[in-house]
Amino acid sequence: DAKTTQPNSMESNEEEPVHLPCNHSTISGTDYIHWYRQLPSQGPEYVIHGLTSNVNNRMASLAIAEDRKSSTLILHRATLRDAAVYYCILRTYYGQNFVFGPGTRLSVLP
Amino acid sequence: DAGITQSPRYKITETGRQVTLMCHQTWSHSYMFWYRQDLGHGLRLIYYSAAADITDKGEVPDGYVVSRSKTENFPLTLESATRSQTSVYFCASSQTSGTADTQYFGPGTRLTVL
C-alpha cells in the first residue's frame, strides 16, 4: 500500500494560516489524496480530497505538488475548533478501506 | 438528517460476554465499514460490507462477527469479549468503493472489557 509521512505535531496561532504537509513519494497515478481530521472524542471527519489539481472547499485548500509526491493541506485562518489530528490518506484503486497513519496533531493557540 | 449513528456510545462488559455494537445510516449508502482505534495505532479495518448480505474481512477480523440484513444497519458482534478488544469502535459508510469517494464516520462506541 502506498504510504504517507506527516509530522507528528504542529502548532499554530489562532486566526493565522496553517500549512500541514504530507509526503507520499510512492503514490501511483490513480491514487486520490484524501484529508480527514479527528476532533477530540469524535469520529474522523472528511476535509478535502484531490487527484492532481489544487482543490478548494469551504473548510480548506489542498495544494498538490506537480509530481504528486507531496501535498499540503491549508487552513486559511485557524480557529480553536480546528485543533485536531489531521490524516493524509492515499486512496488506492484496489483498497476497500482508508489506511490511517498516526496523522499530525494540530494545536491552535489563542 | 441523522446521518450515521452508533449505539451504545459507551459500554462496559466483562470478559467472555457477547456484545453487539449497532450502526445505522440514513443515506442508503452501499458500503459500510467497522474500524477500531487503539492508543498508538491508527484506525484499523475490522470488517466491511459492499451491500446487504455481502460482507468481507478487513485487517483485524478475529473475534468479531458482522451481518447486514438491511442496507441501513451493520451490527458488529463480539462473540466472547476479551480485554484486548477494549477500544473505540467507529462505523463508516460510503456510496461506492471508488477512490474519489468519501467515507462518513459515526461518533464511535467506547468499549471497555473488564
Residues of A whose CB is below 8 A from B99? 30-32, 91-93, 95
Smallest CA–CA separation between A9 and chain B, in Å? 14
Among A38, A88, A93, A96, the residue to mutate for chain B (most B Cβ within 10 A): A96
Q: Quote the CA–CA distance of B96 and B94 in Å, as a whole number.
A: 6
Asked which of A99-108, B7-16, B83-92 is least confident by mean pLDDT, the reply is A99-108
pLDDT at A28: 85
Mean of pLDDT values over B32-53:
90
pLDDT at B96: 83
Query: Are β-strands B19-25 and B76-78 bridged in parallel, bridged antiparallel, or unpaired?
Result: antiparallel
> A64: which strand partners?
A71
Name the residue among A82, A86, A89, A83 with its Cα closest to residue A103.
A86
Low-confidence ranges of chain A (pLDDT < 70): 1-2, 93-97
pLDDT band at B16 (very low <50, low <70, confident <90, very high): very high
Asked which of B40-44, B61-65, B74-78, B81-85 is least confident by mean pLDDT, the reply is B40-44
Q: What are the tens digits of pLDDT across the range B45-61?
A: 999 999 999 999 998 99
pLDDT band at B1 (very low <50, low <70, confident <90, very high): low
3-state secondary structure of B83: helix
